[in-house]
Amino acid sequence: KAGVTQTPRYLIKTRGQQVTLSCSPISGHRSVSWYQQTPGQGLQFLFEYFSETQRNKGNFPGRFSGRQFSNSRSEMNVSTLELGDSALYLCASSLAGTDGHGYTFGSGTRLTVV
Amino acid sequence: GIQVEQSPPDLILQEGANSTLRCNFSDSVNNLQWFHQNPWGQLINLFYIPSGTKQNGRLSATTVATERYSLLYISSSQTTDSGVYFCAVEIMEYGNKLVFGAGTILRVKS
């Protein structure tokens, strides 16, 4: 079966702009979560969506937002970009812990803010 | 919140050697996964192992949930094993999320 698809793979944006990243989960997976990876902070949880509802949110400013559509695809948006938002953004899908296989991650979107 | 600690932070091996990576966590967890991050950044799922022992080829993992630790064994290492290994524990409160350790950077030399 197809894996988790993230688009785009690479992105360069200017400070102050906004960006939207997309994630298509594995077919049948209803939980989608997002993570930010930076050299200084490691892998940090951003938020989780399940059946179009945000169930959990990490400790990030309100500039970071997301949504999930009825087909389980998810988008995350970062507004008013700052240099510190440069990171690898990873999306994961799961059956919400019921399938015994855990989380499957996409290839990520590498965002550079200049 | 829960703390996840991995050791060692760095490891250099000669090809063919064996190694053990450790993951300690500070509280009870719903499950634990081991990942290998490839050079392109993707996290590859190695094991989903909330408890017990699992093996997959040259890799095996053991989680002792009551003592809050997990071990990842790599036998007969190959250069393709190089990369960063992460353990992550799942927290289920107000939804699900993974809390990651800082990772172990493994370099296998030929």
Residues A92, A4 contacting (CB under 8 angstroms): yes
Radius of gyration of chain A (CA): 13
Smallest CA–CA distance from A35 into chain B, residue: B98
Residues A112, A101 contacting (CB under 8 angstroms): no
pLDDT in tens, B30-50: 789 999 998 889 899 999 999
Contacts with B34 from chain A: Cβ below 8 Å: none
Residue-level pLDDT at B84: 97
Half-sphere exposure of B14 (CA within 13 A, CB side): 0
Whether chain B has a CB inside 8 Å of the CB on A104: the answer is yes
- Dihedral pair phi/psi, residue B66, rounded to 5°: -65, -25
Burial readout B67-87 (b: 16 or more C-beta within 10 A, e: otherwise) = ebbbbbebeebeeebbbbbbb
How close B41 comes to chain A (CA, Å)? Answer: 6
- The answer to whether A105 contacts B33, with C-beta atoms less than 8 Å apart, is no
How close B39 comes to chain A (CA, Å)? Answer: 11
> β-pairing, B31-37 with B43-48?
antiparallel
User: Which among A97, A105, A106 is the nearest to B96, CB-wise?
Assistant: A97
Mean pLDDT in residue range B56-68: 96
Task: Name the burial class of residue B52, with classes exposed (0-12), middle (13-18) and buried (19+) by CB atoms within 10 angstroms of its CB.
Answer: exposed
**Among B31, B11, B86, residue whose Cα is nearest residue A44:** B86
pLDDT in tens, A35-88: 999 999 999 999 999 999 999 999 999 999 999 999 999 999 999 999 999 999
pLDDT in tens, A6-28: 999 999 999 999 999 999 999 98
Terminal Cα-to-Cα distance of chain B (whole angstroms): 41
Whether chain A has a CB inside 8 Å of the CB on B71: the answer is no
Task: Name the burial class of residue B14, with classes exposed (0-12), middle (13-18) and buried (19+) by CB atoms within 10 angstroms of its CB.
Answer: exposed
How close B9 comes to chain A (CA, Å)? Answer: 13
Contacts with B43 from chain A: Cβ below 8 Å: 90, 92, 105
How close B36 comes to chain A (CA, Å)? Answer: 11
Whether chain A has a CB inside 8 Å of the CB on B45: the answer is yes
DSSP secondary structure string for all residues of B35-91 = EEE-TTSPEEEEEE-SSEEEEETTEEEEEEGGGTEEEEEE-S--GGG-EEEEEEEEE
* Three-state helix/strand/coil letters over A2-49: CCCEEECCEEEECCCCCEEEEEECCCCCCEEEEEEEECCCEEEEEEEE
- The answer to whether A33 contacts B41, with C-beta atoms less than 8 Å apart, is no
